[in-house]
Amino acid sequence: MAYYANIEAGKVVDIIVAEQSFIDTLDGTWVETDPNTKGNKHYDDTNLNEDSGTPLRKNYALIGGLYDSVKDAFYTKQPWPSWVLDETTCIWEPPVAYPDNGKPYDWDEDTTSWKEIT
């Protein structure tokens, strides 16, 4: 059994677990996805450690997310206009890295910077 995403107009509308033979009987566009794939890396399903598995379509599909057939990749909607899609991972990247000081931050699109949550 594998996971399959139903795609309509580039958007993920459903995800099911099924055999390929069942998927072949369904109407629509169904694309295999892997819950252990994120950022074009494969992770084990117990400790979330990167493993030697082969990543599938950059990221696991999410309902409401996007599928790009040219990139053959799943990814989320752009969270902010200033963020750019990393073509290798298909994860949206902010123009400024998240601060690495242990404090919580929210993105401020008006200033395109991270603002500490107080």
pTM metric for this prediction = 0.89
Residue from 71, 57, 74 nearest 12 by CA: 74
pLDDT in tens, the chain (118 residues): 999 999 999 999 999 999 999 999 999 999 999 999 999 999 997 778 899 899 999 999 999 999 999 999 999 999 999 999 999 999 999 999 999 999 999 999 999 999 999 9
Pairing verdict, β 105-108 and 92-93: unpaired
Q: Where are the alpha helices (DSSP H) in the chain?
A: 20-23
Residue 58 burial by CB count (10 A; 0-12/13-18/19+): exposed, middle or buried? buried
Domain boundaries, the chain: 1-77, 78-118
